[in-house]
Chain A
Amino acid sequence: MDAPLWVTLALTLKVAGWATAINLVLGVAVGWLLARKRFVGRELLDSLLTLPLVLPPTVLGYYLLVVIGKRGWLGHWLQETFNINLIFTWQGAVIAATLVAFPLILKSARTAFESVDPQLEKAARVLGLNEWAVFFRVTMPMAWPGVLAGVLLVFARSLGEFGATLMVAGSIPGRTQTLSIAVYEAVQAGQDDTANVLVVITSITCIAVLLAAGRLAPAGRVR
């Protein structure tokens, strides 16, 4: 364990934070699309995007390597065009965590949007609002508790992501080694003291997230 503890913790929070932010935008957009629009292949799209929930993370990691690896079509293109390499970087870890956690926000957001009474959206339209205003003033506030629940699940899942992250980003102390990977490495190396500290830190972080969740969404507001 070469990196100081706080570096590993900060890296883990950074990766989980980015994965959560990306998932918030993507999950809300796709969840809304699935809930409100009728199009061919809607349920197939839902199934495909739910796949990360049931596939082993290592399989996902492998797929990611195939796509964004140096010889993958996207990875090759990024390398040639922008000289960007995602493998063994923290950005790669963000992509892995985002993909693995995405189904959690998708399910929450879709259910939340489906439970918004379309009548209220109609009322807003008749009152002169354009579609963006309807979304931000009626749909989103009504769906927010459900979306927020999804956001917290995503954050928790990203914090603990292991398999796909390890395959895509590896385990470089201080650069891509997140808490869950550091625990694994410490145990493998027989450093029980380090493992103990890491496990306690991880548990405290998760408890803090849950407490924050309780404050953000008081029981009275979630309907």
Chain B
Amino acid sequence: MSFDVDIRKTVTSERRSFTLRVSFRTHARRTVIFGPSGAGKSLTLQAIAGLLRPDSGRIAFDGAPVFDGTQRIDVPARTRNFGYLFQDYALFPRLNVRQNIAFGLRSGLRNPSKQASGDEVERWLQAFELVDVAAQRPAELSGGQRQRTALARALAHSPRALLLDEPFSALDPELRDRMRAELDELLQRVDIPVLMITHDREDLAWFGDEAIYMLDGAIAERPPVLERRVPTRLKAL
């Protein structure tokens, strides 16, 4: 498996203009893109997923382009077949866990029913220990259950790679460590190529078979020095 990315994108808002110039290649099973917030990691990941159209350049997975500015190739997000784990999970709030997992398995204009079933759904409910909460809505879940639901939803339609957007930043610090170990274990079981973006060094240590560094919209040679955040417990002293 390999990601081959070489893109440019200028994003302008009323107050500022940001130019992304990223070029990297990775063959690793698990790659982590590491950099401070505002480095352009999220834009890069969205471009790979097909949620953001680069101004120019090329994105290829396993040699096949999903975007190529000069050849006018732009495979829509729905057929790129990447799994995407959003930072705040983006679970559908009105659907229960079962419906969320079955969401991508059902085509057409109607959502899966509350009792949606099928081998894939049952398999992921069991694999991620979600059977007991299958009928609950996302708002009723714990942080860990929410993440497992989002992961199950992303994996249920058999993506060829998994893109993770800051997967632990929505969690409490205490939960974060536990979830890293859990995600690590789950990912080893499903054996799928992973590309993660993060600003947390711990994620780099856990998931970075290969590390790519980003700063100010470009690839950096060395890990950028991030401002060290003093843990709140120490601040109080």
Contacts and interface: CB of A to CB of B under 8 A. Distances in A.
Contacts of B107: 128-129, 133
A204 interface: no
Interface string A116-146: 0101101111111110110011100110000
B30 interface: no
Interface residues of B, number: 29
Given A129-B78, A137-B110, A119 B90 contact: yes
A220 B109 CA distance: 26
A125 B78 contact: yes
A120 B51 contact: no
B109 A122 contact: no
A123 to B, nearest CB: 4
A137 B104 contact: no
B79 A126 contact: no
Contact of B86 (A119, A128, A142): A119
A128 B81 contact: yes
A142 B93 CA distance: 9
A127 B79 CA distance: 9
B86 A125 contact: no
A153 B111 CA distance: 28
Contacts, number: 64
Interface string A173-184: 000000000000
Contact of A122 (B51, B108, B111): B51
A161 B76 CA distance: 46
Contacts of A117: 90
Interface in B77-107: 77-84, 86, 88, 90, 92-94, 103-104, 107
User: Taking chain A's interface residues, is the majority helix, strand, or loop, or is none over half, making it mixed?
Assistant: helix
Interface size class of chain A, counting residues whose CB lies under 8 Å from the partner chain: 10 to 19
B103 A127 contact: yes
B49 A128 contact: no
Contacts of B94: 141-142
Contacts of B109: 132-133, 136-137
Nearest to A124: B103
Nearest to A141: B94
Contacts of A137: 103, 109-111
A125 B93 CA distance: 16
A123 B84 contact: yes
A126 B88 contact: no
Interface string B42-79: 00001001110000000000000000000000001111
A129 B110 CA distance: 11
> Most chain-B Cβ atoms within 10 A of its Cβ — which of A119, A122, A128, A137?
A128
A126 B77 contact: yes
B90 A122 contact: yes
Contacts of A119: 86, 88, 90
Contacts of B110: 136-137
A132 B153 CA distance: 20
Contacts of A138: 92
B85 to A, nearest CB: 10
A90 B140 CA distance: 51
A141 B50 CA distance: 24
B135 to A, nearest CB: 18
A58 B16 CA distance: 48
A169 B82 CA distance: 57
A60 to B, nearest CB: 36
A128 B90 contact: no
A147 to B, nearest CB: 15
Closest 8 CB pairs of A and B: A127-B104, A123-B90, A125-B77, A126-B84, A136-B109, A119-B90, A128-B78, A122-B51
6 contacts: A126-B82, A128-B81, A128-B157, A133-B107, A137-B103, A141-B111
Interface of B: 46, 49-51, 76-84, 86, 88, 90, 92-94, 103-104, 107-111, 153-154, 157
Interface of A: 117, 119-120, 122-130, 132-133, 136-138, 141-142
